Amino acid sequence: MNTPRHAARESLAHHNSLAERARTALTYWRAGVVKRSRTRLNHLRRHAERGSVSMFAVVSVLGLFIAIGLVVDGGRKIRAIETAQAIAQDAARVAGNQLDFTSNLLDGSRPEIDVDAAISAGNAAIATAGGDPSSPGVSVSGYTVSATVHVTVPTTFLSVIGIASVTGVGEVGGVEPVPGMNAEIP
């Protein structure tokens, strides 16, 4: 029964089924595009942070290296200060014991410090102990002996950033001689 009405219905049904199939295909295509783009976005999100852990590790290791360098080379600086202080004390003691008994031998008064011998002996003690003999060294003023010593030590870690050495300074002032200690009577 091929009536014009029936043919129109068949044509409309055929058209609807084609439209439905196109809609379905479009929906599947969109779903595939969305799925692929979501997959791509997830892939990018997962891999976008690639290398960020290694960058964190580099920064952390660098910070740790600097901290270790400050601890180790800071300890060297403290040790240089202690060494310079010990050398200065020893140099002042040696210089203070360079007494001149001959000038005051007859009247029995306090012996004088032989300034030239004191400075020479004090600076020799500084050089022997490893201090810098060109630093201010030993000075004598009346009965007071002062010593200033510089001790320079190389750095281990800080040399990487251009700090090749650290210097410790030791100062002793106001040392007075004790007659009879390390002094010879002529």
Please give the chain's pLDDT, 186 residues, in tens.
556 555 555 554 555 576 677 677 667 666 665 566 667 666 666 666 665 667 888 889 888 988 888 899 999 999 999 999 999 999 888 888 887 767 666 666 777 788 888 888 888 988 888 887 677 788 888 778 888 899 999 998 888 888 899 989 888 887 666 555 544 444
Token pair in block for residue 122: 């004090």
Beta-carbon contacts of residue 148 (< 8 Å; ≥ 6 apart): 88, 135, 136, 137, 169, 170, 171, 172
pLDDT at residue 31, as a whole number: 61
Single-letter amino acid, residue 161: I
Tell me the Cα Rg of the chain: 45
Q: What pLDDT was estimated at residue 183? A: 45
Q: Give the pLDDT confidence score for residue 138 in this predicted structure.
A: 87
The residue with tokens 């660098």 is 62
Region of 132 please: left (phi>0), alpha (psi -120 to 50) or beta.
beta
Strand 137-141 versus strand 99-100 pairing type: unpaired
